[in-house]
Amino acid sequence: MNPSTSFPHRVSDALADAQLRTALDRATSQLGSRRILALATLDEADAVRDRARAARLKAIANLGAYLERFEAKLVSNGAQVHWAQTPADANAIITEIARRTSTRVAVKSKSMVSEETHLNDALERSGVEVVETDLGEYIVQLRRDRPSHIIAPIVHLTRQDIGRVMSERLSVPYTDDTRELAAIARTRLRQEFLRADMGISGANFGVVETGTICLVTNEGNGRMVTTMPRVHVALMGIEKLVETMDELDSCLKVLARSATGQKVTVYTTLVRAPRGAHDSDGPEELHVVFLDNGRSRMLAGETAEILACIRCGACLNACPVYRTIGGHAYGDTYPGPVGAIVTPGLRGLHPWGDLAHASSLCGACREVCPVRLDIPAMLLSLRNEARSDQPRLMKAAMRMFAWTATKPRLYRAAMKMMRSVLAGRSSEGWIRRLPGMAAGWTSSRDLRAPASRSFQDQWRNRRRSAAR
Partner 1 sequence: MNAREAILARVRAAARTGRVPTGHAGSPKTSAQEERSAKALASRSEDLLTHFSRELAALGVDCHVESTADAVRARIEGLARDKTILSWDPDRLPYEVGSILPAAATGAAGRSVQAGAALGVTGCHAAIAETGSLVVLSGPGTPRTASLLPPEHLCVVRRADLYASMGEFFRVRAADIAAASCCTFITGPSRTADIELTLTLGVHGPGKVVVIVGP
Residues 171-230 that bind partner 1 (CB under 8 A): 178-179, 181-182, 185-186, 189-190, 193-194, 210, 218-221, 223-224, 226-227
Residue closer to partner 1 by CB (options 336, 345) is 345
We find the least distance from the C-beta atom of residue 355 to partner 1, in angstroms, to be: 20
Q: How many of the other CB atoms lie within 10 Å of CB of 326?
A: 29
Residue closer to partner 1 by CB (options 224, 310) is 224
Residue closer to partner 1 by CB (options 152, 382) is 152
We find the least distance from the C-beta atom of residue 229 to partner 1, in angstroms, to be: 12
CA nearest to 275, candidates 230, 216, 223, 213: 230
Pick the stretch among 10-18, 53-61, 313-321, 409-417 that binds partner 1 (CB under 8 A): 53-61
Separation of CA 457 from chain center: 46
Q: Which positions from 306 to 345 touch partner 1 by CB under 8 A, shown as an x/- string?
A: -x--------------------------------------
Q: Identify residues 342-361 at the interface with partner 1 (CB under 8 A).
A: none
Residue closer to partner 1 by CB (options 10, 49) is 49
Pick one of 13, 17, 129, 302: the residue that binds partner 1 (CB under 8 A): 302
We find the least distance from the C-beta atom of residue 44 to partner 1, in angstroms, to be: 7
3-state secondary structure 354-371: HHHHCCCCCCHHHHHCCC
Q: Identify residues 405-434 at the interface with partner 1 (CB under 8 A).
A: none
Q: Which positions from 265 to 284 touch partner 1 by CB under 8 A, shown as an x/- string?
A: xxxxxxxxxxxx-xxxxx--
Residue closer to partner 1 by CB (options 164, 425) is 164
Please enumerate in sequence order all residues whose Cβ is within 8 A of that of 110, keeping only pairs 6 or more positions apart, or say none: 132, 134, 136, 137, 153, 202, 217, 221, 222
Please enumerate in sequence order all residues whose Cβ is within 8 A of that of 141, keeping only pairs 6 or more positions apart, or say none: 120, 131, 132
Residue closer to partner 1 by CB (options 8, 282) is 282
Please report whether residue 252 would count as binding partner 1 according to CB under 8 A. Answer: yes
Read off the DSSP letter of residue 47: H
Pick one of 50, 101, 129, 142: the residue that binds partner 1 (CB under 8 A): 50
Please enumerate in sequence order all residues whose Cβ is within 8 A of that of 408, keeping only pairs 6 or more positions apart, or say none: none
Residue closer to partner 1 by CB (options 266, 447) is 266
The values of phi and psi at residue 161, to 5°, are -55, -45
Angle between helices 45-61 and 245-259 (to 10 degrees): 120
Q: Identify residues 111-170 at the interface with partner 1 (CB under 8 A).
A: 133-136, 139, 152-155, 158-159, 162
Q: Identify residues 69-108 at the interface with partner 1 (CB under 8 A).
A: 83-85, 89
We find the least distance from the C-beta atom of residue 23 to partner 1, in angstroms, to be: 8
**Alpha carbons 146 and 160: distance in angstroms, whole number:** 18
Residues touching partner 1, count (CB under 8 A): 97
Separation of CA 219 from chain center: 21
We find the least distance from the C-beta atom of residue 314 to partner 1, in angstroms, to be: 15
Strand duo 267-271 + 231-237: pairing? unpaired
Q: Which positions from 366 to 385 touch partner 1 by CB under 8 A, shown as an x/- string?
A: --------x-----------
Q: Is 171 left (phi over 0), alpha (psi -120 to 50) or beta?
A: left
3-state secondary structure of 162: helix
Residue 309: Cβ-neighbour burial (10 angstroms; 0-12, 13-18, 19+): buried
Cα-based distances in Å from 56 to 38, 234, 336, 382, 467: 22, 20, 21, 22, 58
Q: Residue 139 in contact with residue 162, Cβ under 8 Å?
A: yes
**Alpha carbons 392 and 257: distance in angstroms, whole number:** 48
Please report whether residue 53 would count as binding partner 1 according to CB under 8 A. Answer: yes
Residue closer to partner 1 by CB (options 300, 393) is 300
Please report whether residue 62 would count as binding partner 1 according to CB under 8 A. Answer: yes
Residue closer to partner 1 by CB (options 314, 431) is 314
Q: Identify residues 14-33 at the interface with partner 1 (CB under 8 A).
A: 23, 26-27, 30-31
Torsion of CA 398, 403, 404, 405, to 10 degrees: 90
Please report whether residue 264 would count as binding partner 1 according to CB under 8 A. Answer: yes
